[in-house]
Amino acid sequence: MAEVLSKTSLFSSWHHHNRQNQSISVFPKSCNYNKSGSFCCSLKLNPEISSLSLSTKSDFHGKRVALQEHRAMPSRGNFQSQAASVVNSQNQQTGLRFGKALKWWEKGNQPNMKEVTSAQDLVDSLSNAGDKLVVVDFFSPGCGGCKALHPKICQLAEMNPDVQFLQVNYEEHKSMCYSLNVHVLPFFRFYRGAHGRLCSFSCTNATIKKFKDALAKHKPDRCSLGPTKGLEEKELLALAANKDISFNYTPKPVEAVPTPAKEVIVSEAAPSRLNSEALPLPSTTTSKSAQVVTAWR
């Protein structure tokens, strides 16, 4: 009996040492003395353990000892693979989360707000706007005034969906901004149809009223006669002459303006002296005839 208890305690201590990898439960339920003079012990298994079991022979009086492990605890290889898959999924989720992070000039943008990608894009956007009011916003990522003003510009864009807002990043298009004579930020220019540039000014968060007043002044619908003007001719020529940007522009041919014909004004001339002497004078003729009649009498 002492030998049986020592065997049981041996398995119990081994189970306690390896409980992180395998869970083995060996509980002696009862020991019966056989006629052959040996003990026969039946083992009670932990009911919480799954049905998967491994049977092996031991020197525990020639009896079988059932070794069982939890399915909840995967084997060493499976555990490592599952841990790697969890880490990969977390890394993928983290990467997607960082990929969706918006920059401050992209937050709150409305459908009528567009970032300009090149000089040609700016010219085409202004040309295709028609009679719609277009606001060109020049900003810089490192400009604190631009960052503070951006949320209010987004609110005004949301309140005026019929106005097109074009954003020009000064750091990405510095050479183009030089050609357009933009040297202070934040800076705004208003364009409409055949009128071309309506106004240009710089304002900050403290002087936002200047922007609102310009928006209210130029927003009413107006029909402009003629093609959309966009940038001025000198600005287009400056962009085409800039070697740092790829922009081609062919100057428009100058049409010769016809000179109006001079009008010849003919004034009525006074009758000449000869003509005046040739005409008979009624008073003289009358006097001579009167003298002839008097003499005849």
Q: Annotated catalytic sites, by residue?
A: 143, 146
Residue 193 gets which letter from DSSP?
Answer: G
Nearest to 45 by CA among 68, 79, 77: 68
Show the tokens assigned to 83.
């841990």
Chain-centroid distance of CA 177 in Å reads: 19
DSSP-derived secondary structure for 194-205: GGEEEEEEE--S
Tell the burial category of 69 from Cβ atoms under 10 Å away from its Cβ (0-12, 13-18, 19+): middle
- Cα separation, 109 vs 211, whole angstroms: 18
Burial 72-94 (b: 16+ CB within 10 A, else e): eeeeeeeeeeeeeeeeeeeeeee
Element (H, E) at 29: strand 27-33
**How many H helices and E strands in the chain?**
9, 9
Which residues lie closer than 8 Å to 87 by C-beta, 6 or more apart? none
* φ, ψ of residue 14 in degrees (nearest 5): -65, -35
